[in-house]
Amino acid sequence: MTELDTRSQILIAAEERFSLYGYNKTTMVEIASDCNMSAANLYRFFDNKLDIGAGLANQCLAEKENELAVIVADNLMTSAEKLHAFVVNILHYTYRRFDVAPRLSELIEAMTIQRPEVMKSHRNSTIILLRRLLEQSVDAGEFEFSDIDATAEAINTAITVFYLPAVMPLFSLEEFESKAKSVCDLLVNGLSKIKT
Residue 28 lies in a domain: no
For residues 149 and 131, is the Cβ–Cβ distance under 8 A?
yes
Let me know if residue 41 belongs to a domain: no
Contact indicator for 163, 180 with CB cutoff of 8 Å:
no
The pTM (predicted TM-score) of the whole model is 0.89
Nearest to 134 by CA among 85, 79, 187: 79
Rounded CA-CA distance 149/187 in Å is 15
- C-alpha 3/C-alpha 7 separation (Å) is 6
The answer to whether position 138 is within a domain reads yes
Is residue 8 domain-resident? no
CATH code of the domain containing 117: 1.10.357.10
Domain assignment of residue 111, yes or no: yes
Residue 42 lies in a domain: no
Domain count, the chain: 1
pLDDT of residue 128: 98
DSSP letter string, the chain: --HHHHHHHHHHHHHHHHHHH-TTT--HHHHHHHTTS-HHHHTTT-SSHHHHHHHHHHHHHHHHHHHHHHHHH-TTS-HHHHHHHHHHHHHHHHHHHHHH-GGGHHHHHHHHHH-HHHHHHHHHHHHHHHHHHHHHHHHTT-B--S-HHHHHHHHHHHTGGGG-GGGGGGS-HHHHHHHHHHHHHHHHHHHBSS--
**Can you give the pLDDT at residue 195?**
53
**pLDDT the model gives residue 194:** 62
Is 184 within the bounds of a domain? Answer: yes
Residue 34 lies in a domain: no
- Which among 11, 193, 192, 21 has a CA at the least distance from the CA of 103? 21
Supply the range of the domain harboring residue 113.
49-191
Tens of each residue's pLDDT in the chain, 196 residues: 687 789 999 999 999 999 999 999 999 999 999 999 999 999 999 999 999 999 999 998 999 999 999 999 999 999 999 999 999 999 999 999 888 788 888 998 999 999 999 999 999 999 999 999 999 999 999 999 999 999 999 999 999 999 998 899 899 999 999 999 999 999 999 999 765 5
